[in-house]
Structure 1
């Protein structure tokens, strides 16, 4: 058994995945589009948008898609644990570009930690133990 998050966007899935790739989190390893291969399309605005994607990197796995009825992201966050504070600070800064930092990087009882919501509405919590 393996648990992985599934992110639902309305029409910004592909730009979000490109952003996460540019941040150095990994890459898209599977992508299927609405209307491709006979898949149904809810309306023409969804044609060509992402119906299913798999994103993978070292220690990272999540899925994502565009959905005409997607609700705003809430109630969940990606929690990344890193071994190096400098690497963590660089990744935090990249993810925060165009987003909102909700907890600036700093020392907490459980380690060096920060939380942000990226420009696509996805929450990220980064932690470096110790």
Structure 2
């Protein structure tokens, strides 16, 4: 079983996932970024929605971070939530600091990186409204 966080955006999935791609230094998986206008039945979708992202995924280790844009007026309304975090456990403390610094840029820091009893930890919401946790612990089973 794999855990693959899936993010929904309100028209800025391309911007967000391109930013994450840069931070993690990986390329989009599969056929890259599929837009609504790329669908076989795209003529049934309003033209102003064709540039919205249908699906995109980034390989992060053995997992994937996946995303799409919502489709206004088509049954699923965007609502930014605060009940999901993406937790990353990098291999080094330096990588934890780098990820925290880059991902939190322009966002809101909830807890700066600090040594806690459970490891080196920090949390924040990035500039796209996605909540993150960074956790590093040597010899971690977290």
Q: TM-score, normalised by structure 2?
A: 0.83
Q: How does 1:30-41 map to 2 (within 5 A)?
A: 30-40=32-42
- For residues 26 and 60 of structure 2, the distance between their equivalents in structure 1, rounded to whole angstroms, comes to 4
Give how far 1:57 is off: 2.8
Structure 1 unmatched ranges of 5 or more? none
- For residues 48 and 116 of structure 2, the distance between their equivalents in structure 1, rounded to whole angstroms, comes to 45
4+ aligned runs moved over 4 Å, structure 1: none
**Corresponding residue of 1:97:** 105
CA-to-aligned-CA distance 1:56-106 (integer Å, 9 cap, x gap): 133441210011322113200100011211111011100011111101110
CA contact (8 A) 1:79 1:124 kept: yes
Greater CA deviation, 31-40 or 48-57?
Answer: 31-40
| Structure of greater Rg | 2
Q: CA RMSD in A?
A: 1.7
Please give the secondary structure, in 1, of the residue aligned with 2:124. strand
CA contact (8 A) 1:25 1:60 kept: no
CA contact (8 A) 1:117 1:124 kept: yes
Structure 2 unmatched ranges of 5 or more? none
Give how far 1:126 is off: 0.2
**Corresponding residue of 2:58:** 55
- For residues 3 and 78 of structure 1, the distance between their equivalents in structure 2, rounded to whole angstroms, comes to 10
Q: How many residues align?
A: 130
